[in-house]
Structure 1
Amino acid sequence: MRKIILAAAAAGAALTLSACSEGADEAVDSSMADAEANADAGMEAVDSAADSAMAAVDSAADSGMAAVDSAATAVESAAE
């Protein structure tokens, strides 16, 4: 009788550990999916910031070139 009770308790404990293990696997899978999504979102944010910075640099370069052209035209006009 004791052996049957002990075997039943051991089987219950094994099932509990198995269920916990499956829960842990699911938690790890979920955490990995979240980490991957966060990494993707971070890369998209970096790409977007880089694109915005490049657009700002291009705009500043264009403005600078326009100012240089305007100054050159003014110098030429003054020299005539």
Structure 2
Amino acid sequence: MTSLLAASAWDYEFHPEVWLLVAAIIGLGVYSVRNIGPLVVPAGEPVTTVNQKRFFIVGVAMLWLAADWPMHDIAEEHLYFVH
């Protein structure tokens, strides 16, 4: 029983796979807007709108918050359905 009390769900644990996933999504998003977008969008039109940029940032931030600490550790150790 004391071992359960000694373990804390709030101990930080680095998850490089989450950080790599978020970095890859951001990198691919920037690459597609800068390199692919101008090739497929008609001349004179913007590649992305301000709202599209905002939604992308919010989406990546929500993914990062849901997949990284503390949700990742709590989901793996206590509430797997959250994961």
Q: TM-score range by the shorter chain?
A: 0.3 to 0.5
TM-score (norm 1): 0.33
Higher helix share: 1
Higher relative contact order (CA 8 A, sep 6+): 2
TM-score by length of 2: 0.32
Larger Rg: 1
